[in-house]
A and B are shown apart, each in its own frame.
Chain A
């Protein structure tokens, strides 16, 4: 079929179709060693330095299963409300490719360790939708083939070979590109909260393929699906699915039939194209892996893993709104990663006078100052220099009206490079805000006396002159006056004299 359908896709036309999408996610597990050998997973910059005879597939070598791979897979299964198969085994998926040294990948076929799960995703309107998980299975990664370094040869690096993966297959429950994006973000959040995957798509630690078809609204039967690969960023997943849905609708509307095929997303061209057709249909000749013994998972192991599960982002976000009284917006941002949420909770824990107002001040400092610096320095919260207890002091200094919000910014900037406390810095810099009523009354009186005309105009109804008086008072006190008190006193004084 051609990709040149020129039918005009009006919104009415598009609305006649319902997209049906299922995602397959591969997540690299954060183990120290490979799935079936003791070679380290953490690779340096040099190729082929993370191998051993098992990884290289030398004759006579035998795989031995890494216990942590099983634990991580069960962790993910429990976190996605999946059933855990009590007895399962591995299978060989056979195919020829130079970065697959054994000629087969050890995977799971009809006995995936987890099955029949679901997660909830959040839709734009704030509603939630349940997406089914068909299965989660364990397998090993292949090496990397590099096609563009050498004109005549393909270069092979086996550092990645044997790295453990879980493959998470969703039910075809997803109905739009934005739902697919939410699903993927939710999966990333769960994987990273569970600390079993880095979630980094750009580095290939998280990979996603999409199965996409469209059908007329109201139709029962699914349309013919295509599988779109090469989706190497979260936004590309959304864009590629959007493109593919429209391409299929246009093709059907111009009387073509959709071919079941694999298509590659081309981020540069912002389109998908069919992969060059293979000479032969793939037959992976799955059969049980005879080198590994069956796995029987005891209830005790499952319960132990369940007991160790952390609170996930979606629950934590809700808790942040109730326990700390944060707006949902703040709660969503502060629970984006587990470490960020932990940091915020430590800040709140260190606040002496526990109150929602103070937690909100801490949240504001986190969102405006801390997150800005993390983005600028391109570091995660784990690499952030100010301990949470010290950030709490800064929040309290502001909450106690000792310093202004402008001072908070300056003190924060200083704290990034200084071991001194927020209080010490504010004293050194003379930032300490003046909240002495007698002193401020005097200043306010002076400002009003010096501006009789404006005072008259204000009293005559020119309410917008109020800011002028605040500004003058701040100027007079060299910015040290507590602005909240200045406002109060000005209001009193200006209205009194009326």
Chain B
């Protein structure tokens, strides 16, 4: 069984730009491990010869025509943004180069 460390939780926290108190970090670490343990029960199922199921939907080929619909104004698009500057979302400086 894999074990999630508090360092890993901290890493996710930083990536998601969240801040936890030490108590919260400990709580979340416990919860992460509980979730992983819960999901790991699936490994007990015998899936030999079973087609992987990627969706519970029965339908196929749901597509739409290439016709524009309504869009949001910049003001509306930015309404929930904690910080904005002249029509841009503003986020803390991204340091370094991140590979896409």
Contact = CB atoms under 8 A, between A and B. Distances in A.
Contact of B67 (A32, A50, A290): A32
Nearest to A146: B88
Interface string A277-291: 010101000001010
Given A39-B71, A40-B71, A155 B90 contact: yes
A276 B96 contact: yes
Contact of B83 (A48, A153, A262): A153
A51 B77 CA distance: 7
Nearest to A53: B72
Given A46-B74, A156-B88, A98 B94 contact: yes
Contact of A153 (B64, B77, B91, B96): B91
A275 interface: yes
B22 interface: no
Interface in A287-334: 288, 290, 292-296
Interface string B9-36: 0010001100000000000000000000
A67 B64 contact: yes
Interface in A399-417: none
Interface residues of A, number: 54
B69 A33 contact: yes
A155 B68 contact: no
Contacts of A37: 69
Interface in B52-100: 52, 54-55, 57, 59-74, 77-78, 83, 85-94, 96-100
Contact of B64 (A64, A96, A157, A264): A64
Contacts of A264: 97
A48 B90 CA distance: 12
A32 B74 CA distance: 20
A491 interface: no
B85 A155 contact: yes
B50 to A, nearest CB: 15
A48 B77 contact: yes
Given A97-B98, A290-B54, A153 B71 contact: no
B74 A293 contact: no
Contacts of A50: 71
A385 to B, nearest CB: 31
Contact of B55 (A52, A262, A275, A294): A294
A49 B73 CA distance: 6
Interface string A116-152: 0000000000000000000000000010011100101
A233 interface: no
A156 B87 CA distance: 9
A56 interface: yes
B93 A48 contact: no
Interface string A167-178: 000000000000
Contacts of A276: 96-97
A40 B92 contact: no
Contacts of A154: 90-94
Given A262-B99, A293-B57, A52 B88 contact: no
A67 B63 contact: yes
Most buried by A among B16, B54, B94: B54
A104 B57 CA distance: 21
Given A48-B89, A68-B66, A158-B89, A295 B60 contact: yes
A89 interface: yes
A38 interface: yes
A38 B64 contact: yes
Contacts of A262: 99
Contacts of A70: 63
Nearest to A294: B60
Interface of B: 11, 15-16, 52, 54-55, 57, 59-74, 77-78, 83, 85-94, 96-100
Given A32-B68, A37-B69, 13 more contacts: A39-B69, A47-B88, A48-B77, A48-B89, A49-B77, A67-B64, A154-B93, A156-B90, A264-B97, A278-B96, A293-B60, A294-B54, A295-B60
23 contacts: A33-B68, A38-B64, A39-B68, A46-B74, A48-B88, A49-B73, A56-B77, A65-B64, A66-B66, A67-B66, A68-B65, A89-B54, A97-B98, A98-B94, A150-B85, A156-B90, A156-B91, A158-B89, A282-B99, A288-B52, A293-B57, A294-B54, A296-B61
Interface of A: 31-33, 37-40, 46-53, 56, 64-68, 70, 89, 95-98, 142, 145-147, 150, 152-158, 229, 262, 264, 275-276, 278, 280, 282, 288, 290, 292-296
8 pairs of A and B residues whose beta carbons are closest in the complex: A38-B69, A288-B54, A155-B88, A156-B89, A68-B66, A67-B63, A96-B15, A98-B91
